[in-house]
């Protein structure tokens, strides 16, 4: 085989092979190199065989993304990530889907096992109906036997005992040589294969010898730190430490409390996925959470104040996050649409401003190109950094906020193209999701600013060909803000596909739908 791995070569078949030929080749090789059957074989050979069948033998799955059908990535990912447990699952799914051995007389049966079987091992008995060689007519082939009617085989009902070793998983297999059906043509008995299928409780997820379980932890414990308890796989209780400021979804490992590793004395880990448990809120608890919310918002959200016709946005070191640009653009759009110029207070940064902050400020300037330099309040060294970046002409440095009060700004051009029709404020939605997102963000962010404009918003959707879940979430957020304050939202000229999506999700009922601007109710 060459340096480049080829799935067809791995199975020893041609590229134009039929599905049946692929399945036959896979089953022949899988039984030949299965580690439970051929203990001397290299397990990697079995892994490669199963991965090859995953690549070319399993059906392709497609999903519509709104524009075209995309082929979904195979469940097991890349070849480097595909391991022996994935291979065993591929083999088991093939058996469960009706796959069979190409050797005449072989019998493949499925045996379901539970959590205790995997933990402790077990013995189970099964009734097996199979065909065996007729002993009465074996010596005299010329005369017709009364037992088998000349077919040379008779059906028997036998009991087989199966040993389940601790640590077995879906796809592990037991082979009973010559315990299959008798094949008349070859005059041989086939083999019996028992394939294990594990059935674990729904709250458990197995990955190799490790088991993950979701654990609800009190919100206060996740915030302040403490101890949580979990019932182990064998029924005993285990206590583990929860660090302060633990996020929901954090995984904490308890070593040695998972599943046994097949054929060894070692055990895997129990992985506890923390899920925040909300307390029941009475009046006092609700008041405490409201105060906590105010503290978090005042600490982390962007804030602004007005000085004459200037909106001053205060930036602090904790705002220097990957989300800064998006939040800055949203708030700047609202201020500019309100007729205010924009200035930024950078005094809390001192003389140490990161490149990410400058990139965000530069992007704000680009959005409103032609409206003059953006004013910055901060340390004198900022001007040196601006000169080094060769963007000093785009910004104007002011020593303190007093200088903003004396600035007179001419009314700004409407950045969003919004216009009025009777009592309605009409927002022309763009033909790109980026444009529409800015518009919806400006309306939604109005809930964080002082009341301005009318509460009767109309979105002209004539240029919007389709929408996604994020777009719908923005619409619903706008509806909640406007309706809470006694207003309404109208949707104008919905495209057929957009209307269908809004109807199927029952979101359309929240809005007033009209065909054109002139149809807006008074």
Q: Is residue 361 part of a domain?
A: yes
For 100, residues 6+ apart whose C-beta sits below 8 A from its C-beta are 27, 106, 108
The verdict on 150 and 217 lying in the same domain is no
Using an 8 Å Cβ cutoff, are 449 and 481 in contact? Answer: no
Residue 423: pLDDT band (50, 70, 90) is confident
The verdict on 188 and 219 lying in the same domain is no
Residue 279: what pLDDT? Answer: 81
Q: Is residue 34 part of a domain?
A: yes
Residue 198: what pLDDT? Answer: 84
The verdict on 38 and 63 lying in the same domain is yes
| Distance in angstroms between the alpha carbons of the first and the last residue of the chain | 77
395-398 and 374-377 beta bridge pairing? parallel
Q: Is residue 283 part of a domain?
A: no
- Domain boundary at 213, 243, 277, which? 277
Angle at 177 between CA 172 and CA 182, to 5 degrees: 120
Residue 490: what pLDDT? Answer: 92
Using an 8 Å Cβ cutoff, are 308 and 377 in contact? Answer: no
- Domain boundary at 374, 405, 436, which? 405
The verdict on 427 and 401 lying in the same domain is no
Contacts 24+ apart (CB under 8 A), 33-41: 34/91, 34/173, 35/84, 36/172, 36/173, 36/174, 36/175, 37/173, 37/175
DSSP string, 46-89: HHHHHHHHHHHTSPP-EEE-SSSEEEPPPTT-STTT--HHHHHH
Count of other CB atoms within 10 angstroms of residue 512: 15
Find the CATH number of the domain harbouring 304: 3.30.750.24
Using an 8 Å Cβ cutoff, are 302 and 327 in contact? Answer: yes
Q: What is the pTM of this model?
A: 0.46
The verdict on 424 and 495 lying in the same domain is yes
The verdict on 169 and 226 lying in the same domain is no
Helix, coil or strand: residue 91? helix
* Domain count of the fold of the chain: 5
The verdict on 377 and 451 lying in the same domain is no
Using an 8 Å Cβ cutoff, are 34 and 46 in contact? Answer: yes
Helix, coil or strand: residue 323? coil
Q: Is residue 288 part of a domain?
A: no
Compare 95 and 487 and report the one with higher pLDDT: 487
Find the CATH number of the domain harbouring 252: 2.60.260.20
The verdict on 307 and 395 lying in the same domain is yes
Residue 1: what pLDDT? Answer: 41
Q: What is the pLDDT of residues 23-34, one digit of tens each?
A: 888 888 888 888
Q: What is the pLDDT of residues 349-377, one digit of tens each?
A: 877 777 778 778 877 777 765 556 678 88
Q: Does residue 133 have a pLDDT over 90? A: no
Least Cα distance to 399 among 426, 369, 376, 428 occurs for 376
Q: How far is CA 206 from the centre of its chain?
A: 18
Using an 8 Å Cβ cutoff, are 246 and 214 in contact? Answer: no
The verdict on 397 and 306 lying in the same domain is yes
Q: Find the domain containing 55 and state its range.
A: 1-102
Residue 93: pLDDT band (50, 70, 90) is confident
Using an 8 Å Cβ cutoff, are 122 and 113 in contact? Answer: yes
Q: Lowest-confidence range among 31-45, 232-246, 431-445, 497-511?
A: 431-445
Cβ burial 244-254 (10 Å sphere, 16+ → b, else e): eebeeebebeb
Q: What is the pLDDT of residues 381-410, one digit of tens each?
A: 777 877 777 777 777 788 777 767 655 444
Using an 8 Å Cβ cutoff, are 301 and 313 in contact? Answer: no
Integer CA distances (angstroms), 456 to 160, 227, 494, 514, in order? 77, 51, 18, 14
- Domain boundary at 102, 127, 156, which? 102
Question: Which structure tokens are listed for 69?
Answer: 């059908």
Q: Is residue 375 part of a domain?
A: yes
The verdict on 230 and 136 lying in the same domain is no
Q: What is the pLDDT of residues 196-247, one digit of tens each?
A: 888 888 888 888 889 999 999 988 888 888 888 888 888 888 888 888 888 8
Q: Is residue 70 part of a domain?
A: yes
Angle at 203 between CA 199 and CA 206, to 5 degrees: 55
The verdict on 423 and 339 lying in the same domain is no
The verdict on 428 and 397 lying in the same domain is no
Compare 463 and 76 and report the one with higher pLDDT: 463
Residue 452: what pLDDT? Answer: 44
**Burial group, residue 294, by CB count within 10 angstroms (0-12, 13-18, 19+):** exposed
């Amino acid at each position: 085989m060459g340096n480049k791995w080829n799935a067809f070569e791995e199975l020893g078949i041609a590229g134009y092979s039929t599905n049946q030929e692929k399945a036959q080749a896979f089953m022949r090789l899988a039984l030949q190199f299965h580690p439970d059957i051929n203990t001397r074989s290299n397990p990697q050979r079995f892994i490669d065989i199963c991965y090859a069948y995953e690549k070319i033998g399993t059906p392709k799955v497609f999903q519509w993304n709104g524009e075209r059908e995309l082929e979904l990535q195979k469940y097991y990912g890349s070849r480097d990530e595909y391991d022996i447990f994935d291979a065993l699952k591929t083999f088991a799914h093939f058996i469960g889907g009706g796959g069979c051995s190409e050797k005449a007389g072989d019998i493949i049966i499925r045996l379901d096992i539970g959590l205790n079987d995997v933990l402790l091992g077990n013995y189970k008995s099964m009734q097996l109906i199979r065909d065996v060689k007729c002993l009465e007519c074996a010596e005299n082939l010329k005369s017709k036997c009364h037992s088998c009617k000349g077919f040379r085989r008779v059906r028997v009902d036998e009991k087989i005992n199966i040993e389940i070793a601790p640590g077995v998983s879906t796809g592990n297999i037991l082979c009973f040589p010559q315990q299959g059906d008798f094949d008349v043509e070859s005059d041989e008995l086939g083999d019996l294969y028992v394939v294990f299928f594990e059935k674990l409780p729904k709250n458990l997820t197995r990955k190799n010898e490790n088991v993950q379980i979701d654990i609800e932890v009190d919100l206060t414990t996740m915030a302040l730190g403490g101890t949580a308890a979990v019932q182990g796989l064998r029924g005993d209780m285990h206590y583990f430490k929860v660090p302060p400021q633990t996020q929901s979804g954090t995984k904490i490992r308890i070593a040695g409390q998972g599943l046994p590793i097949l054929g060894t004395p070692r055990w895997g880990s129990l992985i506890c996925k923390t899920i925040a448990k909300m307390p029941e809120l009475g009046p006092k608890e609700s008041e405490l959470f409201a105060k906590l919310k105010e503290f978090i918002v005042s600490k982390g959200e962007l804030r602004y104040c007005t000085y004459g016709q200037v909106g001053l946005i205060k930036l602090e070191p904790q705002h220097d996050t990957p989300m800064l640009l998006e939040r800055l653009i949203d708030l700047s759009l609202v201020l500019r649409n309100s007729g205010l110029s924009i200035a930024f207070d950078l005094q809390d940064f001192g003389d140490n401003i990161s490149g990410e902050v400058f990139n965000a400020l530069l992007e704000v300037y680009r959005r409103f190109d032609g409206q003059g330099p953006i004013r910055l309040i901060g340390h004198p060294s900022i001007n040196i950094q601006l000169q080094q970046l060769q963007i000093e002409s785009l910004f104007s440095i002011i020593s303190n906020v007093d200088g903003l009060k004396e600035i007179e700004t001419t009314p700004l051009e409407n950045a969003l193209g919004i216009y009025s029709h009777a009592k309605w404020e009409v927002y022309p939605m763009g033909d790109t999701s980026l444009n529409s997102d800015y518009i919806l963000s400006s309306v939604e962010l109005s809930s964080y600013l002082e009341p301005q404009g009318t509460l009767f918003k109309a979105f002209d959707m004539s240029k919007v060909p389709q929408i996604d879940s994020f777009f719908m979430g923005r619409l619903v957020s706008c509806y909640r803000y406007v309706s809470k304050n006694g207003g309404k939202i109208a949707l104008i000229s919905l495209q057929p596909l957009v209307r269908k999506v809004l109807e199927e999700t029952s979101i359309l009922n929240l809005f007033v739908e009209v065909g054109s601007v002139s149809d807006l109710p008074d």
